[in-house]
Amino acid sequence: MSTHPGRAASAAKQQRGKSPLTAETGPASSGDSGGASADITEHELKRRAILEGAAAVFARRGFVAGTTKEIAAEVGLSQPAIYHYVGSKSDLLREIALQVDRDLFAALESGIARSTNPAEQLRGIIEEYTAAVVRDRRVFAVFWQEGHSLPQEIQDRIREDQRDFITRVGKIVARLQRSKVLPPGPVAVMARAILSMPSWMYHWYLPEGQMTATEIADVYCRLIGLGERR
């Protein structure tokens, strides 16, 4: 089962952890006469809203059937504004893929940074990844379902990046296997199986459900023998 972790282009490497749809707006900069925040300009805010609208339309209608006209209606802008702030429909899908990349690698880095203990690192990755999917499930759904619509060059980079992601998680899995926390078996298969749990949440997760992202992640961790969250 593929877990789809994609670093869709080299530019994403420089922006990990800065999801274009979820980063917070910082305080206003005193030197910015345009009234934009220190971190996010008005242009960027519009761009993010368009990407959110594109994800909603593509999740509902599919990439082929969805149109920039529908996306414009979704976000209350004109169709030319879509092209001005982001570009064509293909550009929108590419930017969604880049966001997924940043979210996934931010989850990986944040999880690893939590501890030197491999069990806590793996728990951290699962929790961060689950939270990312819950936060932007339509964006993740579009990436998983419409990845084949990306240019071949981007698809190739995604596959390469998937191997990198699995390799890094696999190193943690191998350490836990040596300490008998996880059962023996092919490391790559184990890593893919573990990451598949949050990967496919977009199929069934409902925001109005009774469990939080943290509680769901705790279920995943207990399933693989990491115990309850401390």
In the prediction, which pLDDT does 20 show?
Answer: 39
Top-confidence residue, 36 or 163: 163
Cα–Cα distance measured from residue 112 to residue 134, given in angstroms and rounded to the nearest whole number: 20
Cα–Cα distance measured from residue 198 to residue 213, given in angstroms and rounded to the nearest whole number: 10
In the prediction, which pLDDT does 29 show?
Answer: 34
Q: What is the pTM of this model?
A: 0.77
In the prediction, which pLDDT does 55 show?
Answer: 93
Nearest to 47 by CA among 18, 87, 97: 87
Nearest to 93 by CA among 61, 129, 134: 61
Cα–Cα distance measured from residue 37 to residue 39, given in angstroms and rounded to the nearest whole number: 5
Domain locations in the chain as residue ranges = 10-28+36-223
Nearest to 140 by CA among 108, 188, 102: 102
pLDDT tens for each residue of 126-150: 999 999 999 888 889 998 899 899 9
| Cα–Cα distance list, 219 to 184, 194, 209, 214 (Å) | 21, 12, 15, 9
Q: What is the mean pLDDT of residues 80-89?
A: 90
What is the band of 32 on the pLDDT scale with cuts at 50, 70, 90?
very low
What is the band of 121 on the pLDDT scale with cuts at 50, 70, 90?
very high
Alpha helical stretches, state H, the chain: 10-13, 42-61, 68-75, 79-85, 89-113, 118-135, 137-146, 152-178, 187-199, 213-223
In the prediction, which pLDDT does 224 show?
Answer: 94
pLDDT exceeds 70 at position 11: no
- What's the CATH number for 10-28+36-223? 1.10.357.10
Cα–Cα distance measured from residue 147 to residue 6, given in angstroms and rounded to the nearest whole number: 10
Cα–Cα distance measured from residue 68 to residue 223, given in angstroms and rounded to the nearest whole number: 42
Q: What is the mean pLDDT of residues 112-129?
A: 95
